[in-house]
Amino acid sequence: MSAEYVTGNEYGAHTSHGGSRLAARGVTVGYGSRAVIDGLDVAIPPGVITTIIGPNGCGKSTLLRTLTRLLKPAKGTVVLDGEDVARLKTRDVAKKLGLLPQAPVAPEGLTVSDLVARGRHPHQSWLRQWSSDDAGVVERALAMTGVSELADRPVDSLSGGQRQRVWISMTLAQGTDLLLLDEPTTYLDLAHAIDVLDLVDDLHESGCTVVMVLHDLNLATRYSDHLIVMREGSILAQGHPRDVITAGLLDEAFGLRATVIEDPVGDRPLIVPIGRTHVQAGQSEQPGQSEQFGHSEHSERSGTVPAEEYAN
Partner 1 sequence: MGLGTLAVILVVVGAVSLTVGARALSPPEVWHALFGPPDSDQGLTEIRLIVQTARVPRTVLAVVAGIALGVGGALIQGYTRNPIADTGLLGVNAGASFAVVSVIALFGFANPFQYVWFAFLGAAVAGVVVFGLASIGRGAGNPLTLALAGQGITVFLAAMTTAVSLSDQKSLNALRFWNSGSVAGVGFGVIWPVTVFIAVGLVLAATVLPALNLLNLGDDVARGLGVNLALSRTVGIVAITLLAGSATAACGPIAFLGLMVAHVARYLTGPDYRWLVPYAGLLGAVVLLVCDIVGRLVVRPGELDAGVVVALLGAPFFAILVWRGKFRSA
- Applying CB under 8 A, the span of 119-127, 187-195, 203-211, 269-277 interacting with partner 1 comes to 119-127
Instruction: Give the interface segment with partner 1, choosing from 16-24, 43-51, 87-95, 258-266 (CB under 8 A).
Output: 87-95
Task: Check: CB of residue 123 under 8 Å from CB of residue 177.
Answer: no
Contacts of range 67-72, beta carbons closer than 8 Å, 24 or more positions apart: 67/22, 67/24, 67/180, 67/211, 68/97, 68/99, 68/180, 69/93, 70/99, 70/101, 71/29, 72/29
Nearer CB in complex with partner 1: 81/297: 81
Q: Which of 35, 48, 70, 158 binds partner 1 (CB under 8 A)?
A: 70
96 vs 222 by CB, closer to partner 1 = 96
Residue of the chain from 68, 162, 221, 224 that contacts partner 1 (CB under 8 A):
68
Select from 174, 185, 224, 284 the one that contacts partner 1 (CB under 8 A).
174
| Position among 28, 38, 47, 121 found at the interface with partner 1 (CB under 8 A) | 121
109 binds partner 1 (CB under 8 A): yes
Q: Is 202 in the site for partner 1 (CB under 8 A)?
A: no
Q: Is 124 one of the binding residues for partner 1 (CB under 8 A)? A: yes
Residue with smaller CB distance to partner 1, 117 or 229? 117
Determine which residue in the list 107, 248, 255, 266 makes contact with partner 1, applying CB under 8 A: 107
Does 312 interact with partner 1 (rule: CB under 8 A)?
no
The rounded distance, in Å, linking the Cα atoms of 244 and 1 is 34
Interface with partner 1 (CB under 8 A), residue total 34
Q: Does 101 bind partner 1 (CB under 8 A)?
A: yes
For partner 1, the binding residues (CB under 8 A) are 32, 68-70, 89-95, 97-101, 104-111, 114-115, 118-119, 121-122, 124, 126, 171, 174
